[in-house]
Amino acid sequence: MREISVERITEAIREMCMEANYTLSPDMQEALNRAQCTEESPLGEEILSMLAQNLKVAKEEKIPICQDTGMAVVFLEIGQDVHLSGGSLTEAVNRGVALGYKEGYLRKSVVKDPLIRENTNDNTPAVIHTEIVDGEHVKITLAPKGFGSENMSKVYMLKPADGREGVKERIVTAVKEAGPNACPPLVVGVGIGGTFEKCALLAKKALLRETGEPHPDAHIAALEQEIMKECNELGIGPAGLGGSSTVLAVHIETFATHIAGLPVAVNICCHVNRHCSREL
């Protein structure tokens, strides 16, 4: 049994809120650089060059890459041999978010009640997903999610007969409908299988994968490539103003499902696909 104080989780999350909002991970930066090299439209190329400049200014001056610094989505993988001490885990996470968003001059974008809509003024609560895993470590992943792209995400409950083609068609349609609203070039997170909520969670987790890293199963990796190609033939382009860079990567995660179902979730993310991880 290893004891870890929840204070360490607060501290890690406080720092990660700032890190994620000022700096994109190297894999995302490389994906954007690659797009700039291959973009066919001159305007699209110019927009990608603006995005590169934007990342430079954000990093150097600690200005958020995007003013929508997101709702904080926190994944916690907690080793089953860990004892978390020193208070409530949920409160510790939210305290880290509140501190990070205040200290980092990040936007407070969370309303307490979805219908009454009063801002909580500290960007809490976070959306927290905990998972008990083997071992004696805690892995924290923070993914602040902007809502320009979140709003364009979809869940479909397809029929088994819809098959591979049906899945592909829905994903491409979701990207087409997202169009300029979701701030392309996009990263498309997809969950296939499981239940209604499981496929949505898989789609969200798919966004955390190293950008462009293929799925380990060859048939899923092939599907990712086909969908990416079709999406990039839509001509939506950077900022939706035309071009060949609509999608930087398609990441699919799968899970076993019921004999009667084929759930598919598409979690659209803009080019500011922020996430960072730490292990305690």
Residues that bind other proteins (CB under 8 A): 43, 47, 50-51, 53-55, 57-58, 61-69, 105-109, 117, 119, 121, 148, 151, 179-183, 235-236, 239-242, 270-272
Closer residue to other proteins, CB minimum distance, 10 or 273: 273
The 3-state secondary structure of the chain reads: CEEEEHHHHHHHHHHHHHHHHHCCCHHHHHHHHHHHHHCCCHHHHHHHHHHHHHHHHHHHHCCCCCCCCCEEEEEEEEECCEEEECCCHHHHHHHHHHHHHHHCCCCCCCECCCCCCCECCCCCCCEEEEEEECCCCEEEEEEEECHHHHCCCEEEEECHHHHHHHHHHHHHHHHHHHHHHHCCCEEEEEEEEECHHHHHHHHHHHCCCCCCCCCCCHHHHHHHHHHHHHHHCCCCCHHHCCCCCCEEEEEEEEEEECCCCEEEEEEEECCCCCCEEEEC
Q: Least separation, in Å, of the C-beta of 279 and other proteins?
A: 29
Q: Least separation, in Å, of the C-beta of 39 and other proteins?
A: 14
Q: Least separation, in Å, of the C-beta of 120 and other proteins?
A: 10
Q: Least separation, in Å, of the C-beta of 30 and other proteins?
A: 17
Closer residue to other proteins, CB minimum distance, 5 or 181: 181
Task: Please choose, from the candidates 2, 9, 3, the residue with its C-alpha nearest in 3D space to the C-alpha of residue 89.
Answer: 9
Closer residue to other proteins, CB minimum distance, 47 or 201: 47
Closer residue to other proteins, CB minimum distance, 25 or 254: 25
The position carrying tokens 């650089």 is: 33
Closer residue to other proteins, CB minimum distance, 211 or 254: 211
Q: Least separation, in Å, of the C-beta of 198 and other proteins?
A: 28
Q: Least separation, in Å, of the C-beta of 72 and other proteins?
A: 14
Distance CA 18, CA 210 (A): 20
Q: Least separation, in Å, of the C-beta of 47 and other proteins?
A: 6
